[in-house]
Structure 1
Amino acid sequence: MATKQVTGGSEIDERLAALLTNANAVRAIASAVEGTIGPKGLDTLLVDRFGEVVITNDGITILTKMDVNHPAAKMVINTARAQEEEIGDGTTTATIMAGALLSEGVNQALKGVPVTRIIEGVRFGLNHAIRLMMEHSRPVKGVDEPILRNVALIAGREHEDIADLVVGAARLIGEEKLLKDGFKLSDTIMAREGAENTVFMGVVVDRKRSNEQMPKEVSNAKILIVEDALEPEEIDEGALGTEAGFQRYMELKEEFRENLEKVVSLGVNVILLDRGTTDEAEELLVDAGVLLVQRVSSRELRKAAEHTGARPIKRTGLKKPPAEIERCLGHAERVYEDEKLEHIRIIGGKGKPMATILVGAATEEVVDERERIAKDAAASVQAAVRGGVVPGGGAVEMAVAREIERLRDGVKGMAVYGVDCVIEALKRPLFQIVANAGFNPLEKVGDVMAAQMREGSDSLGIDCDTGEVRDMLALGVYDPTLVKTHALKAAGEIAEAILRIDTIIKKKDETPPGQAADIREPGDVTAEIDL
């Protein structure tokens, strides 16, 4: 890279060099995922330094597991991660369009178009593209809408069993829950080797009973959730060496035993802990026929509390009067241990209705990928319920690109070249889908453009099996509108942020004096010299 020296020893890139190096980094990231898009997309093999492998065509998995050092590439990955958090799908499309926006932006800049004018045109084009995408959206009328299965099938990479599971769970949970802020259908999914595909109203705690002598199953469960260790209050070790300290220790131990007996007398038959317990407490609970589960994750404790209506307490809460503890208890029809899958299921909680989608996998190697596929399908179904659907397969992007071309004539000055960047980016998903299917993308993109103009349709695309122009809606190819609009926003944010970078400056070393000595190798004599 060409650089020039400036006063102070900083290194500053020459004109457009910063844009070129950043754009190349983004294009490299886009090329890593573009081969996975579409029904004929292939998988990517990720290998770490220990030889562990991950085989996937999930865009966000590829991006987040890549070994990346370039700051511009990290910006792309962070934006893709935000897209995944917000919508749960569409990261591959967003990354591909961001790469196309930057490629075209660089081409225009090399021709002499000012970067500020390119950014102006990109903003104009993207704002209208998002508006037009919303206008092309078809509403989804409830969770019984048949096209939801098509959405799940496309996002789930044509795994019919996963599509059926996800749609079944959506109908079980209901539209009201799917529309609720903060609820993610994808969070209800878990995959296990050897499991049967199933959806049930309840939650899973991914732990076993603390003791095999405890009951495997409890009906009409009264559940206590303790966000603490189930053990006596601690006392300073130094105090134990004194007679008074030891006496206090014995008093706390007896008080703890009385509190446990009080809990048992309330009819509590299931206890969930986020930490451990003592041998004495475990023995007492075994004798009382209580099912105890230790070291439950905070996320699973929270879900169990919501589903059963329990109010988690600390161990000091065990000192409360029985009536107050009673109000903290949760209730469920059934709690049992699945010995094959080695987890606890809580069924029929009296709190908020919650469903779990259990995805089976034949071998350990495909468990994670099956879970990723199911999560993508669930996120797409929920997005479709919330925001409707558009024709998939890159068809609607082509229709929007045609409409942006008509708006181009109303743009003044050199900003029109930024609009051209948006038009090319909108064509890119179909281009890559066709290329991955083994057809000539230039020819097929032209065929689709001509067919859409001739028939006035926004749903014409390419059948990846035959290479013919077909109606995507007739083929059952739908994409959630929110996935598309958020992908456009994400691509625009990445492109504008990188286009605005004019200079790359190497920062001076700001390590505090003396800190460098701390990182020297032990035994290095110079490390002991105070400079």
Structure 2
Amino acid sequence: MKWSKSSRTLRRIFTKSSIGQNPTSKGKWGTSLTSHRNKLGTSRVISTELSPSSRRFTRRMPFHHNKSKKEPNGILHRSQAYVAFIDETFKGTKRVPRFMDDNNIVKGREAQRWIVDTALEMADAVRHTLGPKGMDMMLVDRMGNKVLTNDGATILKSLETKDPVASIIAEVAKSQEQNAFDGTTTCIVIMGELLRRADELISRGVHPNAIIKGYRMGLSQAIAWSEEISEEKEAYEAGVEAAKTAITGKSAEDFVDILSDICSRAAMVSSPSEMMLLTVHGKPEDAELIEGLVVLKGPATAGMPTKAAGNIALIESEMAPPQAQVSLTDPDQIKEIVAIQQAFLDEIVARLVKAEVKVVFCQKNIDSKMLQLLRKNDILAFRNVRRNDILKMVHALGGQLIADFADFSKSDMSAATVEVVESAVNDYVVVRGDGIKAASIVMPAPTEQSGEEFQRALEDAVGVSYLAVQNKKMVKGAGTIQAQMSYRLLSGEGCATADNSKVEAARRAFAEALLIIPQTLAESAGMDLMDVTVKLGNSPGLGVNVHDMVLEEMNVFEPLAVVQSAMSGAVENGVSLLRTHSIIMAKPIQEIFAEAERR
């Protein structure tokens, strides 16, 4: 028998020498595994006995049993294997749908438990990153590239999984980020807790429809009451408070005062879709907000002006003469082709001069001869500009994107002022204009990895600042709003109770599930969860001070829209999974469409 063990995974694999051995046997490290074969022919590990040093959480994985390979004595052939995974990230026993069964379907309680287990694993994957004392996670891809982050959306998007339920939950996080820019971890953690409590209610005989009704009833009451206790602040102040909450706990927290001010001012100038975030090498405290568009590019060649005002041409095609694959032996023919190419370049430059163009942004390359002609005519040119930057300039300046040099005029141009800012590492250009309602944040960072993490933090902070500036309604953070809503729903003050006892049980389960947020914050700070839960039940207006490890009134605020979006996303997507009765191995979508077309 062959054993292999890593620091977190224990595997026991039957080899050729294991043929004829009893499926229940004693292995190294005091580990005993017992197997059985059910009526569908699926073999699985059903129990483990681990020594204290190696006892963790066990994940059961079924393997399809091929009856044709059964040995005469009834023992599995060596091609079958029992594998026990001991992993700290798994809580409880993991059931894997038997997609290899003859029916290719998992249904009923087995499907429900599979969904709940997967949701809890996904929630546990990001739960420890929540809050100012949340831990970071290192993401490593197959090529060895590493990303160190505690951003829940980034972690869930980076998970490599073929599990259908895990993929759905990752999409939930993506949707939350798109709608509210933040709160992805909160949304997934609440959804996992809701499904866990729903599984308990189902085990006690409560129908999923009653649970769904109770959850939705609790959600509507929580949203209505959160509106009542929200505070309306000034636009700038709301933006600053929202940005501070979003940045706290991330690597940019040391510069929270500078960055929150920049994010709030940027949110008052433009929307996140029109905003540019650029990271350059330098000191983070030198971060600045530029009211205008910033492109991380320098002049295409030396000798061009560094500042220009006038019409701007935005070109998506290559600025080069046409090329042909021909074989020439006559020198006169070669000279003729060169003359044609030069005439083509001269004509383009003449058209640009006639349209009073002072600056050219080209998405693709610019020929060296063309660059010399542009320089002689005092036209500032930038080449190989990212398409995303080109499109943002088209949207902000209101001009036209030029694709054909044969047909463009002065009306296709946009007027603005362009200035090249020289830097020790990366030059960048600033585009300003009267009609430009855009802002750019230049974020210096000491290393490339820290720059990427700063950029992720600013993307969230700018987004929530924009929501706060537009809505101005804020609620207390640090777990306070969740504790208040939970207390209100459980006490019944101003909240209607359900006539049906099972629906009421689900409504109360929703209220209790909201406490998972302050409990997680307290757990990450090393506080006693029982004390925290009892104190929040008696004084729901308190928040979790993770720095002093006490419960007190916290001067921390977050946008009401983010809190409501996280709750709504958790309930609606949790309800959708709760309504799932069966998991079926279906045909690929392409085959289904192909069959429909043939009909």
Over 3 Å counting, the alpha-carbon distance change for 1:434 and 1:383 in structure 2 is same
2:308·2:359 contact (CA, 8 Å) conserved in 1?
Answer: no
1:228-255 deviation digits (Å, cap 9, x = unpaired): 22234677x58999x99x9899667624
Contact 1:113 1:414 in 2 (8 A): yes
Q: Distance in 2 between matches of 1:267 and 1:364?
A: 40
* 3-state DSSP of counterpart to 1:416: helix
What SS does the corresponding residue of 1:373 show, helix, strand or coil? helix
Report if aligned partners of 1:87, 1:379 keep a CA contact under 8 Å in 2.
yes
TM (normalized to structure 1)? 0.83
The answer as to 2:401 corresponding to 1:287 is no
Task: Letter of the 1:84 partner, please give it.
Answer: E
Give the Cα–Cα distance (whole angstroms) in 1 for the partners of residues 544 and 553 of structure 2: 8
Aligned mates of 1:487, 1:22 — CA distance in 2? 20
Summarize the Cα distance change of 1:105–1:295 in structure 2 as closer, same or farther, 3 Å threshold. Answer: same
Establish whether residue 154 from structure 1 lines up as the match of residue 245 from structure 2.
yes
Please name the residue that 1:229 is paired with.
318
Match of residue 296 from structure 2: 206
**Structure 1: how far apart are the matches of 2:345 and 2:155?**
50
Contact 1:162 1:374 in 2 (8 A): no
Structure richer in helix, relative to its length: 1
Q: Secondary structure at the match of 2:428?
A: strand
Contact kept in structure 2, 1:199 and 1:358, CA below 8 Å: yes
Aligned AA (2:528): N
Tell me if structure 1 keeps the 8 A contact 2:186–2:517: yes
- Give the structure 2 partner of residue 463 of structure 1: 545
- Are 2:293 and 2:432, in contact at CA under 8 Å, matched by a contact in 1? no
Of 163-172 and 395-404, deviating more is: 163-172
**TM-score for the superposition, normalised by structure 2:** 0.74
Q: In 1, distance between residues paired with 2:189 and 2:226? A: 18
Of the structure 1 ranges 432-441 and 417-426, higher mean CA displacement relative to structure 2 is found in 417-426
Match of 2:362 in 1: 273
Deviation, 1:425, is 2.0
User: How much does 1:469 deviate?
Assistant: 2.6
Q: Does 1:505 align with 2:584?
A: yes
Is the aligned partner of 1:367 residue 2:457?
no
8 Å Cα contact 2:126/2:152 also seen in 1: yes
- Choose between structure 1 and 2 for higher RCO, CA contacts under 8 A separated by at least 6 residues: 1
The alignment status of 1:338 with 2:422, answered yes or no, reads: yes
Q: State the 1:207 CA deviation.
A: 2.9
In structure 2, what is the Cα distance between the partners aligned to 1:29 and 1:79?
11
Tell me the SS of whatever aligns to 1:92: helix
The reply on whether 1:394 has 2:482 as its aligned counterpart is no
Q: Give the AA of the match of 1:258.
A: E
Q: How do 1:236-315 and structure 2 match up within 5 A?
A: 254-315=343-404
State whether residues 2 and 17 of structure 1, in contact with CA within 8 Å, keep that contact through their aligned partners in structure 2. Answer: no
**C-alpha root-mean-square deviation of aligned residues, in Å?**
3.2
> Tell me, what secondary structure is at the counterpart of 1:36?
coil
What is the aligned residue count? 488
Distance 1:448 1:395, change over 3 A: same
1:382 matched residue in structure 2: 466
Relative to 1, partners in 2 of residues 1:81 and 1:171: Cα closer, same or farther, differing over 3 Å? same
Q: CA deviation at 1:356?
A: 0.9
- The alpha carbon displacement at 1:190 in A equals 2.4
C-alpha deviation, 1:490, in angstroms = 1.0
- SS of 1:369's equivalent in the other structure is helix
Quote the Cα distance in structure 1 between the aligned partners of 2:524 and 2:580. 33
Match of 1:100 among 187, 193, 201: 193
Q: Structure 2 CA distance, aligned partners of 1:312 and 1:138?
A: 45
| Correspondence 1:72 to 2:165 | yes
Task: Give the aligned partner of residue 278 of structure 2.
Answer: 190
Q: In 2, are the aligned partners of 1:89 and 1:376 still within 8 Å (CA)?
A: yes
Which residue matches 2:58?
Answer: none
Q: Which runs of 5+ in 1 are unaligned?
A: 453-458, 516-531
- Contact 1:218–1:269 (8 Å) recurs in 2: no
Q: Which residue in the other structure is 1:519 paired with?
A: none
Rate the CA distance shift 1:375–1:163 in 2: closer, same or farther, 3 A.
farther
TM superposition shift of 1:167:
2.6
Structure 1 SS opposite 2:370: helix
Per the alignment, in what secondary structure is the counterpart of residue 364 of structure 2?
coil
Higher mean displacement: 363-372 or 344-353: 344-353
* CA distance in 2: counterparts of 1:350 and 1:511, whole angstroms: 50
- Paired AA for residue 357 in structure 2: V
Report the Cα distance in structure 2 between the residues aligned to 1:509 and 1:172, rounded to whole angstroms: 45
**Partner of 1:527 in structure 2?**
none
Counterpart Cα distance in 1 of 2:145 and 2:174: 23
What is the CA–CA distance in structure 1 between the aligned matches of 2:424 and 2:412, rounded to whole Å? Answer: 32
> For the Cα contact (< 8 Å) 1:186–1:379, is it kept in 2?
no
Structure-1 residue corresponding to 2:259: 165
- Which 4+ residue blocks in structure 1 deviate beyond 6 angstroms? 238-241, 246-250, 509-512
Question: For 2:202 and 2:576, how far apart are their aligned partners in 1?
Answer: 15
Shifted more, 204-213 versus 481-490: the winner is: 204-213
Q: Secondary structure at the match of 2:478?
A: coil
Question: Given residue 257 of structure 1, which amino acid in structure 2 is its aligned partner?
Answer: D
Give, in whole Å, the separation in 2 of the partners of 1:462 and 1:169: 25
Give the letter for the 1:365 counterpart: Q
